[in-house]
Amino acid sequence: MLDLSPLLLTFKLAIITTILLFFVAIPIAYWLAYSRSRIKFVIEALVGMPLVLPPTVLGFYMLMVFSPANGFGQWLNDMFELSFVFSFEGLVLASMIYSLPFMVQPIQAGLANLPNNLKAASYTLGKSKWITLKKVLLPNIKPALITGIVLSFAHTIGEFGVVLMIGGNIPDKTRVASIAIYDEVEAMNYGVANQYSLILFVITFIILCLVYFRNGGLLKSKKL
């Protein structure tokens, strides 16, 4: 019988990561969309690094930084009893960093493409930047928000290298579906590996189809 725990853990990780990432990414995307800072390109490069950086590199450095054998990791453990190495919390942190550009970049593009008069009109009416963002800007970039949420969710589901490096392969704790597939292939249990793979493939395909269909409808309604 197929062990569902890696699948359940994978979707739990994807849901938590996506929710946290949404609130982290919005202020970053807002700053990147409207800032004229000279260091803006540096922040954009750092945010986009996971797109080109091998996941094992990111996982390795996270392993080094948060290891209890190092000063910072030991300090976190002693002061807050936090351990990001070989733990679910570590998977969430690694997933947030690795999926950051998939949330930030669509939202940034959506904000940057909005007419400037939307902000100007809101400020003229005495609304604060926070109210303008919440009540005016974000409601007008729903397709970008949905795209960022779904891409982050789907990307987290498919992670392998970074979660293996920081989380290891602990059943019911850090053994997500991608690692379970790898284990089954190594053990030559291709039938089980196929079941895991097919479930992930079908679910992510359906989610993406729904998103593209909805975004297409939203864009058409705006044109009308």
- Asked if 154 and 27 count as a contact pair (C-beta separation under 8 A), the reply is no
**Short-list 54, 23, 15, CA closest to 152:** 15
Q: Output the average pLDDT for the chain.
A: 90
Radius of gyration over alpha carbons of the chain, in Å? 20
Q: In this model, does residue 219 exceed pLDDT 80?
A: no
Helices of type H across the chain: 5-34, 40-52, 55-66, 71-80, 88-112, 116-124, 129-132, 142-157, 161-167, 177-186, 190-223
Q: In this model, does residue 223 exceed pLDDT 60?
A: no
For the chain, list the domains and their CATH numbers.
Answer: 5-52+86-223 (1.10.3720.10)
Q: How far apart (Å, rounded) are the C-alpha atoms in residues 119 and 196? A: 47
What percent of the chain has pLDDT above 70? 96
Predicted confidence at residue 209, as pLDDT, reads 87
DSSP one-letter code for 120: H
* Maximum average pLDDT range among 22-36, 72-86, 116-130: 22-36
- Asked if 180 and 42 count as a contact pair (C-beta separation under 8 A), the reply is no
Predicted confidence at residue 13, as pLDDT, reads 96
pLDDT, tens digit, for every residue of 164-189? 999 989 999 999 999 999 999 999 99
Crossing angle of helices 142-157/190-223, nearest 10°? 170
Taking residues 76-89, what's their average pLDDT? 87
φ, ψ (nearest 5 deg) of residue 59 = -60, -40
- Asked if 199 and 114 count as a contact pair (C-beta separation under 8 A), the reply is no
Q: In this model, does residue 39 exceed pLDDT 90?
A: yes
Taking residues 23-36, what's their average pLDDT? 95
Give Cα separations from 189 to 29, 119, 158, 177, 199 (angstroms). 43, 57, 20, 14, 16
pLDDT, tens digit, for every residue of 128-146? 889 999 999 999 999 899 9
Q: In this model, does residue 213 exceed pLDDT 90?
A: no
Q: In this model, does residue 123 exceed pLDDT 90?
A: no
